Amino acid sequence: MLYIPCMKVGQNDVKALINLEDARKELVSPLLNMRGIERHLNDFLADWGDYAYLMDISRSALDIANDVIGERDLHNPNNHFENKRNWFVEVKAKNSSLIPVVSWLDTDNARDIIQQARLLLAEFDTIAIRVACPSEIAGPSWDRAMSILDAIPDPENILVILDFGDRSPISTINGGTLDHSLSALDNYEVYGVALVSSSFPSQKPQSGSSSTALCHDIVWQAEARQLNDSINLIYGDYAGTNPGAAVEYIQGMAVIPFASYYVPNEWWLKRLGRDKEFENYVQLAREIRQLPDYHGDDFCWATREYGRISQTNERYGNNGVWNGFRANQHICATLQFLQYEDDGDILSIDDML
């Protein structure tokens, strides 16, 4: 497990994942946030293969009352979230590589959360606990995570996810808050710690213009690796999306073709055309292929699609389809970077700045 991209259970996110090659799936363990209908999840479970994946359940107000979350009442705390635990077991029956994720709101009953984790460990070899972290890390969510680890007799079977959302830690220096947090987790001898964040810009360029944006996630997580060499530290991000940005379509909203391409540690971004002028994706595909650091058409599923679209002018898709392309290419470029070795040493921070 080298890389954890956080993604939604949606049609195009699922396509981005199942179109990864097997060699990449061995190293990528997506954290899926369940929302919507189960059909897209079932597509993922059938086509992902025997590779580890993590599953959480959305807490978004727009998601919890609808479709599978509302129908199955998955956030009902009765009997230590029995509905949620049973649902995880059902998912495991369809694809046994599941690592269930325990997450919580500060208002959730602490005993129910702790017992949920203990009961899941009776059904699964490994579980994850997801800590919603402010920049300073300390707070109610961190305290809850410590309580869970104190109550679990075998914390070596727990993956701890430190999820910073669209933020990053306030400090990555020796003796700083992140250093102390990693040391505390190391004392529990947990299975590993995943660091998750996103610096993908929430604002897109004006139509007809392009821009670039630095990816800070790779930089600060590389600094974090220098703090503790005994803990299993796993890189994580939001696969070229910003969890703090508005994602829901509102009636009447302009849908302007948008493309992004990632070469660590920088995104190229461009919007082109007017509302629903999706034919502009042909030109965007051509511009991506002309970027100086383009990986080539054979790099991944997304680049193969860019090559096809730019040459055939056919089946160029829409914004949702291209969101899937962006996620697939971002995952593959990130994984390539994480695997990169320079004369036997991992690429240094200085090489990224």
Whole-angstrom distance, CA of residue 40 vs CA of residue 269: 28
Closest by CA to 130, choosing from 27, 8, 33, is 33
Q: Is 34 exposed, middle or buried (CB count within 10 Å of its CB: 0-12, 13-18, 19+)?
A: buried
With 0-12 CB in 10 A as exposed, 13-18 as middle and 19+ as buried, what is 125?
Answer: exposed
Q: Does any domain span residue 222?
A: yes
Q: Please say if the pLDDT value at position 235 is more than 60.
A: yes
Residue with tokens 């502009």, as numbered in its chain: 280
* Residue 280 within any structural domain of the chain: no
**Structural domain contains residue 73:** yes
In this predicted model, what pLDDT tens digit does every residue of 7-41 receive, in sequence order? Answer: 999 999 999 999 999 999 999 999 999 998 899 99
Domain containing residue 31: CATH number: 3.20.20.70
d(CA 250, CA 56): 26
pLDDT at position 340 over 90: no
Q: How do residues 70-82 score in pLDDT, each as one tens digit?
A: 999 999 999 999 9
The DSSP symbol for 28 reads B
Residues 111 and 78: beta-carbon distance below 8 Å: no
Q: What percent of the chain is modeled with pLDDT above 90?
A: 89
Distances (CA, A) of 77 to 34, 247, 260, 311: 17, 28, 40, 53
Question: pLDDT-based confidence at 352, cuts 50/70/90?
Answer: low
Task: Please tell me the predicted confidence (pLDDT) of residue 252.
Answer: 76
Task: Look at residue 342 in the predicted model and tell me its pLDDT.
Answer: 38
Look at residue 62 in the predicted model and tell me its pLDDT.
79
The answer to whether residues 195 and 203 touch, using CB atoms and an 8 Å cutoff, is: no
Summarised one tens digit per residue, pLDDT across range 284-335 is 999 999 999 999 999 999 999 999 999 999 999 999 999 999 999 999 999 9
Given a cut of 70, is residue 343 above it in pLDDT?
Answer: no
Instruction: Provide mean pLDDT across the span 127-138.
Output: 96
User: Taking residues 193-222, what's their average pLDDT?
Assistant: 96
Q: What is the arithmetic mean of pLDDT over 219-233?
A: 95
pLDDT of residue 248: 60
* Structural domains of the chain, count: 1
What is the length of the chain? 353
Lowest mean pLDDT among 65-69, 91-95, 231-235: 65-69
- Residue 341: the pLDDT is 46
- Cβ–Cβ < 8 Å for 281, 216: no
Prediction pTM value = 0.95
Given a contact cutoff of 8 angstroms between Cβ atoms, the answer to whether 193 and 187 are in contact is: no
Rounded Cα distance, 45 and 18, in Å: 9
Q: 93 in a domain, yes or no?
A: yes
Rounded Cα–Cα distance for residues 123 and 214 (Å): 42
Mean pLDDT of the chain: 94
Average pLDDT score over residue span 101-117: 97
Asked whether residue 148 is domain-assigned, the answer is: yes
Q: Is residue 275 part of a domain?
A: no
Among 171-180, 243-252, 326-335, whose mean pLDDT is lowest? 243-252
Q: Which distant-in-sequence residues (6+ apart) come within 8 Å of 246 by Cβ?
A: none
Residues 164-191, mean pLDDT to the nearest whole number: 96
C-alpha to C-alpha distance for 12 and 59, rounded to whole angstroms:
21
Q: Is the pLDDT of residue 101 over 90?
A: yes
Domain that holds residue 237: 3-254
Task: Of 209, 196, 200, give the one whose Cα is nearest residue 161.
Answer: 196
Q: Is it the case that residue 280 has pLDDT exceeding 70?
A: yes
Which of helix, strand or coil describes residue 251? coil
Six token digits for residue 331: 């995952």
Neighbours of 201 (CB within 10 A): 18
First-last CA distance in the chain: 26
For helices 11-18 and 38-47, the axis angle rounded to 10 degrees is: 0
Could you give the CA distance from residue 241 to residue 330 in angstroms, rounded to a whole number? Answer: 10
Average pLDDT value for residue range 49-61: 95
| 106 occurs within a structural domain | yes
In angstroms, the CA 284 to CA 309 distance is 9
Is residue 301 in some structural domain? Answer: no
